[in-house]
Structure 1
Amino acid sequence: MAYTDDWENLMNGVFGAGGRPRFGGTAQPESKTLKAKAPAVPDLNAALLENQKQLDALLKKQNAQLKTQDTAVQSALEDSRQMLRDMEADGLLAKGTADVTAEHLGSFEGLAVEVKKTVLGQDAFVDSVVRAMRRPFVLGTERPAARNVILICGGAGTGRHFALEETARIMAARGLLQSDKTAVVDLALYPNSGAEKLFLQDLYAALHAPGEIVIFEHYESCHAAFLKTLADLAVKGSAPLSSRYLVNKEGILVDAGTALAPGAVSSITPCGKYLIFFSRKGRDALADKFGAPFVAAVGDVCETSAFAREDLAALAAQQLNALAQKVSARLGLTLSAGADVRDYVAAQCSKEKGAAGLAECCDKMFRALSEYCLQTDAKLTGTVTLTAKPEGVWFSLNDQPEQELSALLPAEYTGAVDEIRAELNGLVGLGAVKEYVFGLADNLQVQQRRAAAGFKTASLSMHMIFTGNPGTGKTTIARLVAKYLKAIGALKGGQLVEVTRADLVGRYTGHTAPLTNSVIESALGGVLFIDEAYSLYRGEQDSFGLEAIDTLVKGMEDHRDELVVVLAGYTREMEVFLTANSGLASRFPNKIEFPDYTADELLDITNVLAKGKGYRLAEGCTFPLLGYYKRRQALDSRTAGNGRLARNTLEKAIFHQSRRLVAEPAAELDLILPSDLEFEE
């Protein structure tokens, strides 16, 4: 049976089968004999009108069916996109996956342009990153070899990490990567051979983690043997293990010892991942640490450049737009800011912070506006207008009088500079020491002025060596130095961590370096004070002590802007100690000698201590105390105790005064008499 659709049936109804017109709705057979009487004239218009109505009804029916199908398709597509968005929100897919067009799936076309929409001012760098990520797709690689080995370098705050994150996100959204997740290995955690097991465990975990990118940070601080392992991964595609290892149920690489066990891991491979090294230094520094074969295996070197003025303006505008959205969403206010505010934010870019200074500035603005909203429980609405002035950013809500934005923030603790200076000045003696400490603030102020004027700044080493006999005020000054450096902005934390050899030197092989590093970590942002530092070095056979010194020197280099180390000890012993490491003496340019106190200074110290405890010395105490202090200091100031001598003498006097007051109830409670004094000759 032949197929006949509705359209054909309709046409046959109008014209008849074969294309002949049909009248009256019923087909009439042809007659060879004409009838005598002619038939009535057919109503052709009525027939055509009737069939037109049928045609219109059929077309409407078909259109309705198509519309229903299109609506269903669109609904299904929207449901699919919503499911993708939900998976994005849950972290199962890279952000932007739902918005990728069909022609961009599995393609690098236009990828760099898309990255540049969010990564501003680094066009050439973005191109190089995208090219580096595309290289294995063009050249081809086979697992388990690394897809590509990449060095990403440049100054702080120039967008190195953000550019890679955005590139990985868009690649994952386009299906070029299975995931945009990255594994990060901080190589500064493995500064010596004692960290071998930890290094191998972390490296194995990173190479087997979700995602296809492994990032290595701070290779400059890593032990040379571990860099050799990474070089083998890049050059040979495999790194042998020096002992037997197994992978436990949790997927952790563990040392199997000497036991023969099935499934032992004898080598580590890159697992077909991108190996990406971050640094502020370029290819030459990489060669110094890894060697020429490794550098030859590096497929791409991607380096950021300094931001141009117009780039910073664009970045500032981007940050202000994000701030406006945040203010609208969180505070319910509309933010208005002009070119003056944009330029103010752009000026917050510095050598130390880079473009991160812009984000920090906008974050402070948001916190200040939040504080303003918290001052009232009423819901605020309207427009917040920002204005930049030489002293900072001001704001006005709904054309009300302007207020300084930073004044709304809680006052940051600085350590009360004036109070600390007064406390330093209140110390007896130590004139040369005070002059040096106060000079640190002068230098910092000048460097800040140079930076503001666009000049280069000179970094001043603040590591110090305090030499002198016990009781000359070394620990007291170290504590005040920590507080003072915090107060003037040279340090962030201002804490004093006081340690001795026992806190730095381990009890067994491999224990010293981690112990010393943990102490260094606890002191970051403050001052590490090592009393009797000369005890760290007990000769060339003291391997544990030498390891502590080497670790300390390396930590000082790695954290030169975050840590001040003060070594204290006897003068002669400290001179010998400085020979224990070739780089030790050069890292302590500030050597401060604490002289022994004179008898007059010890008397002043005794009076200060007594006043602090709520006592006072009778005038008759002056002469015997001066004579006693002169005799003790002349006999042996090294063992006399200096300030401790004054404290011990006062404490004995207070004890004897207490016994006297029991027998003399009417005597003054705060007065110490000559009879209360006891001298050890």
Structure 2
Amino acid sequence: MSLEDQYDAWVRGLMGGSRYAANPQAAQATSDAMQEMQAQLDALTAAQKRQKSAAAAVDAVQKVGRETAEHVRQMSSELTQSLKQDGLLGGTVAAPAPKPTATDRADFSGVADKVKTQVLGQDAFVTAVVKAFRRPFVLGTAADTDHAKNLMLLCGPEGTGRHYALRCVVEELAARGILRSASIETLDLSLYPGPAQEKLFLQDLYAALQSDAEVLAFDHYQGCAANYLNMLATLAIDGNLALSSRYVLQRGILVDVGTALAPGAVGELQAGGKYFVFFSRKGEDALAETFGARFVDAIAGDICRTQPFTPEALAAVAARELNYLAQRVRKQCGLALTMGSDVRDLLASQYGKTSGMQAMRDYGNTVYRAIAEYVLDSDSVPADGTPALLSARDNRLYMTVNGGEPLDLLALLPQQYRGDVDAVEAELSAIVGLDEVKDYVRGIAKNVQAQQRRKAQGLQVADVNMHMIFTGNPGTGKTTIARILSKYLKAIGALRGGQLVEVTRADLVGRYVGHTAPLTNTVIQSALGGVLFIDEAYSLYRGGEDSFGLEAIDTLVKGIEDHRNDLVVILAGYTKEMELFLGANSGLASRFPNQIEFPDYTGAELYRITLSLAKSKGYALDDSCRAPLTAWFDCKQAEDAATNGNGRMARNALEKAILNQSKRLIADPNASLELLLPGDFELD
């Protein structure tokens, strides 16, 4: 029985006795005893409460401790895993931890046969590619993530389906679960032609290694700097590449910290168990000249060669594309297409005119759009199964629907909007002087139009490189011609946007590490579909120590390559300075084959410019101004054309003349308000 229960029983006993009620002294004694006992009981109860509270506090602390320890353990595990994935643990960069893949006994049966139904005319090549992917599974090294899974060279003539075949094989292996991803990371090695691109090369290689793709493809290795190829060879053969500098990871980007002992500094790259695939039009001899014999020995077992397509193979590919076209037309347009070998031969003849096999598919899509245009123009929707015959003659395609008259099929396509070419031409013609420059601009426009006509007729198209360098002294019209050129290219349909984005160094070069590349890329994105005009472009390069400027140039070169069909870049600057600038990056000169020199204006041309400017402001020059003003312009140009500013000098002279005329009008209220006299010009 507890102390409280004993106390209650004792009190009840005391209070129940009648003798206590009759004896006041006894009652008082009992009351005193009860009070003393109650005090003792209260003290004991308080002590018990303090003991329970302390025990509860201890339990709470222990619980918090256990929860904190578990939370710390989880955070530590997550941090360790994150560091490993980002390649910061142990100073290495590795690919993400691979997901479970098929065992070394993965089933490759039927893969080659399945791919051969998609890649026609290259049976031996497809077999060799599948063999190269199967090799690590047979050797038992498929689970090794410390090295490259395998190296292979896909070589052969341009347009023979090397890239397409690789994509088909990878997609099939991914569908079977043999590869964890159907994506392919491709690096264009021609983007890294010199030492200035080292950071860009390492960043792109790092990003490829970190991607989910299990296949890394390397194209155009012949245009890559030798030191980067040596790095690739070391990484591919040894499985790791020690870096000459330390890097840290900031928001997924490698940042060079030199030799500083930064926490978590990256010291090497790792192959991460990926396939390394190299493309080339040449074989192992060219590979050995570039990479060395050791690399060729490592790759020799898996050199896969395509062969030029035979006429029979091209006919088979064309027949497949036409079958796909017929199914598409029947489903969407209701026409039942029939055609003979003449149409098949016309489609096969498209091969290689623009981009290998893709040219045939592009032509097929053009034919489909033309048939869809016929249906849209018809008064009534053709009944499902309406017969339509395709025929070809004189390199043109005709369609006869339900026994009617043959239609020139591609002529049904809507004409592309060309804009007001005459207005742009008139604006160009109004430019004073620069006859050779204007002829060059017209030549570019005519070349673009000619290639567009050839493409419409299914003929081979030559790529037109329209990137340009404008050199010359200030005020020679470089910016004006760039603006007109952008309008011209838009008017003839060569550019989808036609906007002109004018920038200088301040718009491209950032103020802190990691700022330049995003800034430059933002400018490039804003100019897509139009013209990017970089004035005083030579200011981007201020010597080898200008790392920010070099980064902007590297990013610009890469952007030009990535958007080669959707961007025209014009660099402008002084002649001598631009020559030095082109030496900052070996890839610059090759990407700007069109260099146009803007000559200084003659005195007579500057006089004509002055007349034009005066007219635009509502003024006219007296005929007596011609001789003295022309002679003055000639004298100034002979002294220092670069400093005097050419066209800017004419504008400045006119503005001073207008101010002087205002003073003259105050003295002679009857004088013409529009006419400028020789005395108004300050011809000192």
TM-score (norm 2): 0.66
* Inter-partner Cα distance in structure 2 for 1:150 and 1:308: 25
Q: Provide the residue aligned with 1:25 in structure 2.
A: none
| Aligned pairs (5 A) from 1:111-190 | 111-141=111-141, 142-144=143-145, 145-172=147-174, 177-179=178-180, 181-186=182-187
Q: Deviations over 1:529-552 (max 9, x none)?
A: 432234345456555556656776
Q: Provide the residue aligned with 1:19 in structure 2.
A: none
Q: Provide the residue aligned with 2:340 in structure 1.
A: 338
Q: Could you tell me how far 1:575 is from its partner in structure 2?
A: 5.5
Kept after mapping to 1: 8 A contact 2:325/2:368: yes
* Inter-partner Cα distance in structure 2 for 1:424 and 1:247: 49
The AA in structure 2 aligned to 1:366 is Y
Aligned with residue 233 of structure 2, among 210, 231, 234: 231
* Inter-partner Cα distance in structure 2 for 1:216 and 1:455: 31
* Inter-partner Cα distance in structure 1 for 2:510 and 2:422: 41
Q: Provide the residue aligned with 1:361 in structure 2.
A: 363
Query: Helix, strand or coil for the counterpart of 1:372?
Result: helix
- Identify if the C-alpha distance between structure 1 residues 548 and 287 changes in structure 2 by more than 3 Å, giving closer, same or farther: farther
Kept after mapping to 2: 8 A contact 1:194/1:511: no
Q: Provide the residue aligned with 2:632 in structure 1.
A: 631
The answer to whether residue 387 in structure 2 is matched with residue 386 in structure 1 is no
Kept after mapping to 2: 8 A contact 1:182/1:212: yes
- Identify if the C-alpha distance between structure 1 residues 449 and 376 changes in structure 2 by more than 3 Å, giving closer, same or farther: closer
Aligned with residue 604 of structure 1, among 601, 604, 608: 608
Q: Could you tell me how far 1:358 is from its partner in structure 2?
A: 0.6
The answer to whether residue 204 in structure 2 is matched with residue 202 in structure 1 is no
Q: Could you tell me how far 1:322 is from its partner in structure 2?
A: 0.8
The answer to whether residue 533 in structure 2 is matched with residue 532 in structure 1 is no
* Inter-partner Cα distance in structure 1 for 2:439 and 2:376: 45
Q: Provide the residue aligned with 1:57 in structure 2.
A: none
Kept after mapping to 2: 8 A contact 1:328/1:335: yes
The AA in structure 2 aligned to 1:411 is Q
* Inter-partner Cα distance in structure 1 for 2:607 and 2:654: 10
* Inter-partner Cα distance in structure 2 for 1:285 and 1:497: 42
Kept after mapping to 2: 8 A contact 1:345/1:361: yes
* Inter-partner Cα distance in structure 2 for 1:385 and 1:656: 79
Fraction of identical pairs, as percent: 54
Kept after mapping to 1: 8 A contact 2:354/2:460: no
The AA in structure 2 aligned to 1:434 is K
Q: Provide the residue aligned with 2:410 in structure 1.
A: 406
Q: Could you tell me how far 1:319 is from its partner in structure 2?
A: 1.0
The AA in structure 2 aligned to 1:205 is Q
Kept after mapping to 2: 8 A contact 1:156/1:352: no
Q: Could you tell me how far 1:672 is from its partner in structure 2?
A: 3.1
The answer to whether residue 332 in structure 2 is matched with residue 327 in structure 1 is no
Q: Could you tell me how far 1:282 is from its partner in structure 2?
A: 4.4
Q: Could you tell me how far 1:254 is from its partner in structure 2?
A: 10
Q: Provide the residue aligned with 2:351 in structure 1.
A: 349
Kept after mapping to 1: 8 A contact 2:248/2:266: yes
Aligned residues: 563
The AA in structure 1 aligned to 2:207 is D
The AA in structure 2 aligned to 1:133 is F
Q: Could you tell me how far 1:353 is from its partner in structure 2?
A: 0.9
* Inter-partner Cα distance in structure 2 for 1:513 and 1:488: 33
- Identify if the C-alpha distance between structure 1 residues 358 and 589 changes in structure 2 by more than 3 Å, giving closer, same or farther: closer
Q: Deviations over 1:161-203 (max 9, x none)?
A: 321233234445566x155623414356878333477446523
Query: Helix, strand or coil for the counterpart of 2:622?
Result: helix
* Inter-partner Cα distance in structure 1 for 2:483 and 2:256: 44
* Inter-partner Cα distance in structure 1 for 2:618 and 2:187: 56
* Inter-partner Cα distance in structure 2 for 1:336 and 1:240: 62
- Identify if the C-alpha distance between structure 1 residues 430 and 170 changes in structure 2 by more than 3 Å, giving closer, same or farther: closer
* Inter-partner Cα distance in structure 1 for 2:318 and 2:353: 16
* Inter-partner Cα distance in structure 1 for 2:552 and 2:436: 31
* Inter-partner Cα distance in structure 2 for 1:538 and 1:675: 47
Gaps of 5+ in 2: 1-104
* Inter-partner Cα distance in structure 1 for 2:249 and 2:111: 41
Query: Helix, strand or coil for the counterpart of 2:153?
Result: strand
- Identify if the C-alpha distance between structure 1 residues 529 and 183 changes in structure 2 by more than 3 Å, giving closer, same or farther: same
Kept after mapping to 1: 8 A contact 2:197/2:554: no
Q: Deviations over 1:45-75 (max 9, x none)?
A: xxxxxxxxxxxxxxxxxxxxxxxxxxxxxxx
Kept after mapping to 1: 8 A contact 2:399/2:409: yes
The AA in structure 2 aligned to 1:400 is G
* Inter-partner Cα distance in structure 2 for 1:333 and 1:621: 73
Q: Could you tell me how far 1:302 is from its partner in structure 2?
A: 2.0
Aligned with residue 431 of structure 1, among 432, 435, 454: 435
Q: Provide the residue aligned with 1:192 in structure 2.
A: 197
* Inter-partner Cα distance in structure 1 for 2:659 and 2:215: 70
Aligned with residue 672 of structure 1, among 671, 674, 678: 674
Stretch deviating more after TM superposition (292-301 or 500-509): 500-509
* Inter-partner Cα distance in structure 1 for 2:229 and 2:421: 45
* Inter-partner Cα distance in structure 1 for 2:372 and 2:455: 31
Query: Helix, strand or coil for the counterpart of 1:379?
Result: coil
**Structure with greater proportional helix content:** 2
* Inter-partner Cα distance in structure 2 for 1:436 and 1:357: 30
Q: Could you tell me how far 1:632 is from its partner in structure 2?
A: 4.4
TM-score (norm 1): 0.66
Q: Provide the residue aligned with 1:301 in structure 2.
A: 303
- Identify if the C-alpha distance between structure 1 residues 602 and 173 changes in structure 2 by more than 3 Å, giving closer, same or farther: closer
* Inter-partner Cα distance in structure 1 for 2:269 and 2:128: 29
Aligned with residue 370 of structure 1, among 372, 392, 409: 372
Q: Deviations over 1:402-425 (max 9, x none)?
A: 333223323224566665544433
Aligned with residue 317 of structure 1, among 313, 319, 329: 319
Q: Provide the residue aligned with 1:10 in structure 2.
A: none
Q: Deviations over 1:213-248 (max 9, x none)?
A: 344455567777765554344212344576587899
Aligned with residue 468 of structure 1, among 469, 472, 475: 472
The AA in structure 1 aligned to 2:294 is P
Stretch deviating more after TM superposition (630-639 or 412-421): 412-421
* Inter-partner Cα distance in structure 2 for 1:540 and 1:324: 60
Q: Provide the residue aligned with 1:502 in structure 2.
A: 506
- Identify if the C-alpha distance between structure 1 residues 403 and 650 changes in structure 2 by more than 3 Å, giving closer, same or farther: farther
Kept after mapping to 1: 8 A contact 2:154/2:162: yes
Query: Helix, strand or coil for the counterpart of 2:415?
Result: coil
- Identify if the C-alpha distance between structure 1 residues 280 and 652 changes in structure 2 by more than 3 Å, giving closer, same or farther: farther
- Identify if the C-alpha distance between structure 1 residues 652 and 325 changes in structure 2 by more than 3 Å, giving closer, same or farther: farther
* Inter-partner Cα distance in structure 1 for 2:119 and 2:573: 53
Q: Deviations over 1:116-135 (max 9, x none)?
A: 22211222322221222232
Kept after mapping to 2: 8 A contact 1:205/1:252: no
Kept after mapping to 2: 8 A contact 1:649/1:678: no
Q: Could you tell me how far 1:571 is from its partner in structure 2?
A: 4.2
- Identify if the C-alpha distance between structure 1 residues 424 and 280 changes in structure 2 by more than 3 Å, giving closer, same or farther: farther
Query: Helix, strand or coil for the counterpart of 1:192?
Result: helix
